[in-house]
Every structure is written in C-alpha cells, then in structure tokens.
Amino acid sequence: MEGHTRANPTWWDHQRHSLIRLRRQIEHELDARLRPRAGDVVVDMGCGDMPYRPLFEARGARYVGCDIDSAAQVQITPGMPIALDDACASLVVSFQVLEHVWDLGWYLAECRRLLRPGRSPAALDARHVALSPRIRPTFDAGRKMVS
C-alpha cells in the first residue's frame, strides 16, 4: 500500500501499532470469512478518506465509499436514504464508525437495505484490536444488531 494513510501509518504516528493491527485484522477477515469475489460491490459506510479501498480492490471487488464528507463517492445525509439501490451490495462494511453514529437504528437499517438478501454487515472497532491480541473484532456484530 502506497502513501501514508490509516492503513499505512508513518513510523511517528502515535496510533501506528493499533492501525497496523486493524489493517491486518481486516485483511485476515477478508480472506478468512468475508471473501469478496471479483465483481462484488462493497459499500464502506463512513469511509472517511477511504484508507481500506485498496484492500478490497486488490481482491477484485468494486468499492463504493459513503460518508457525510462531500469528498466521498456517495454522500450520507443522516436520516435520509443513501443514494444507492436496494440490495446493491454483496458486502457492507464499517470501520471505526459506529461510535460516531447518532441514529444507530437508521444507520443499520440502511446497511440492511443496501445488502443483498442473506448477507450481513461487517463492523470493526479499533478498540477491539488494540486491547488484546486475544480479543477478536466482532465482524458479525452487524448481524446481531440488525437482527
């Protein structure tokens, strides 16, 4: 990964250790459980500056970044439907975002609306990664919250 981003932090970044662990955990989950295939549409809810986009594109997935920031591919307006079709995504992901969402019910409903039937959203919070190597991130937390 080129450039210095959350996925590739500089040596002097005070969050370097946690961010590298987060990226490695995302890579592990992509290969072990989520397994996006070539052509799959992955929607990243709360993508920020899209630091994990290369991880999905390297696996052949089409990445769509959504955020309240107008620089995102698709802009999110809280409480309003996201400008994407129903069931357009094979995978909806959210990294270090849930703690910033005010209306979690709306947010998770939008995740569910965007997902193809039978799929579950994946969520990861860096605090799970930084606490201990024995604590696994809850990539299936979205399924538990949406169900």
Task: Confirm whether 115 is domain-assigned.
Answer: yes
Residue 1 lies in a domain: no
Q: Look at residue 4 and tell me if it is in a domain.
A: no
What CATH number has the domain bearing residue 71?
A: 3.40.50.150
24, part of any domain: yes
For residue 5, tell me if it sits in a domain: no
Percent of the chain with pLDDT over 70: 80
Residue 10 in any domain: the answer is: no
Query: What range defines the domain where residue 26 resides?
Result: 16-146
Q: CA 34, CA 76: separation in Å to the nearest integer? A: 24
- Domain count for the chain: 1
Q: How far apart are CA 50 and CA 53, in angstroms?
A: 5
- Whole-structure pTM over 0.85, yes or no? no
pLDDT score of 131 more than 50:
no
Residue 11 domain flag: no
The 10s digit of each residue's pLDDT in 76-118 is 999 999 999 999 999 999 888 877 888 988 998 999 999 999 8
